Structure 1
Amino acid sequence: MSTLEEHIDVSVPLDTAWDCLHRSEAYPQFLDGVREARPEGEHRMHLDIDAGGRPQECVVEITDRTPENVMSWQTTSGPDLAGTFSLLPLDEQHTRVQARFEYDPGTIKETFGGPQGFAQASAIERGLRSDLEQLKQWVEGER
């Protein structure tokens, strides 16, 4: 598995950022490639994604570690992907969102197409940064 970590600071309190991350139906607004997201029970969500121009479905299992403000996720169907969002309070009105994305390069190539190796890692890094920028805009607009 390969791992990528990025972070962004948002101008909202930690509780606001935490609540926004748990609104799965809003994921298409800030996660590129997610066409639709809907909750399936308390700790699962169903995602309709665009996988290299092909529609695909996956189910994601969510695990919260509330005292540490960590939300971990793992696909249980579809491409084998996992990640974590960690929220760190900077002050009363600002929060750092740290994203960790774990993936198998072969799975990414097979599922989404595109380059391999360094070019693939660069593309995933750009995508994660873009998603975090969109998350920032959406979260700050929700206040």
Structure 2
Amino acid sequence: MSTIEESIDVDVPVHVAYNQWTQFRTFPRFMDGVERVDQIQPTFTHWVVRFGGRAHRFDAEIVEQVPDRHLTWEALDRPLHRGTVAFEVLDAGRCRVTLRIEPSARGLAERAGNALGLVRRAVHRSLACFKEFIEQQGRETGDWRGEISNGRVRPGSVRERPVVPTWPTG
């Protein structure tokens, strides 16, 4: 299957975008099709997603994580895939977020979804919604600044902030 890669420029500092991406419980607020994400351990997440009209559950392992740089995971169940989200500084108040998904479609429904471009559109919408979410928020809802490499976790600071609704002005 072909790799899907999309980027978006976000008007927040790189550490704000990265910190928000470590807050998996907020993914349903901006990620297309995600109903719930539970972080079971620093390297292990459980996902509930809706795709093609059906709910799917899968576990994923975070295989590498470097603050303000990137986070890479591998799905342990179907839909099998590997993904990386990378963060690049553009200037002091802006960054580029790139989401790369490498699907490993094996079933008929997965192959059909990829052929129709469903995954590509979901990635595009998710990045656009992330941009809107974090720019309206203006700050991250929490962070995890640890590192993960070769299955080893080097803990970092942890902060959780309440999600404050933003109201349009004017």
Letter in 1 for 2:135: E
Question: What's the CA shift string for 1:26-55, capped at 9, x where partnerless?
Answer: 111111111111111111111111132222
Q: Aligned-pair distance for 1:123?
A: 3.0
Question: Which residue pairs with 2:70 in the alignment?
Answer: 70
Q: Which runs of 4+ in 1 moved over 6 A?
A: none
Q: Please state if 1:124 is matched with 2:119.
A: yes
**Consecutive unaligned residues in structure 1, runs of 5 or more:** none
Q: Aligned-pair distance for 1:73?
A: 1.2
Q: Aligned-pair distance for 1:126?
A: 2.0
Alignment of 1:91-110 (within 5 A): 91-107=91-107, 109-110=108-109
Supply the RMSD in Å over aligned alpha carbons. 2.0
TM-score, normalised via structure 1 length: 0.86
Q: Indicate the SS of the match to 1:72.
A: strand
- What is the percent sequence identity of the aligned residues? 27
CA distance in 1, matches of 2:61, 2:135: 26
**Consecutive unaligned residues in structure 2, runs of 5 or more:** 139-170
CA distance in 1, matches of 2:35, 2:113: 23
Question: Which residue pairs with 1:134 in the alignment?
Answer: 129
Q: Indicate the SS of the match to 2:46.
A: strand
CA distance in 2, matches of 1:78, 1:26: 22
CA distance in 2, matches of 1:45, 1:116: 23
Q: Indicate the SS of the match to 1:130.
A: helix
Between Structure 1 and Structure 2, the one with more helix by share is 1
Larger Rg: 2
CA distance in 2, matches of 1:131, 1:46: 18
Q: Indicate the SS of the match to 1:2.
A: coil
CA distance in 1, matches of 2:44, 2:6: 24
Q: Indicate the SS of the match to 1:59.
A: strand
Letter in 2 for 1:137: E
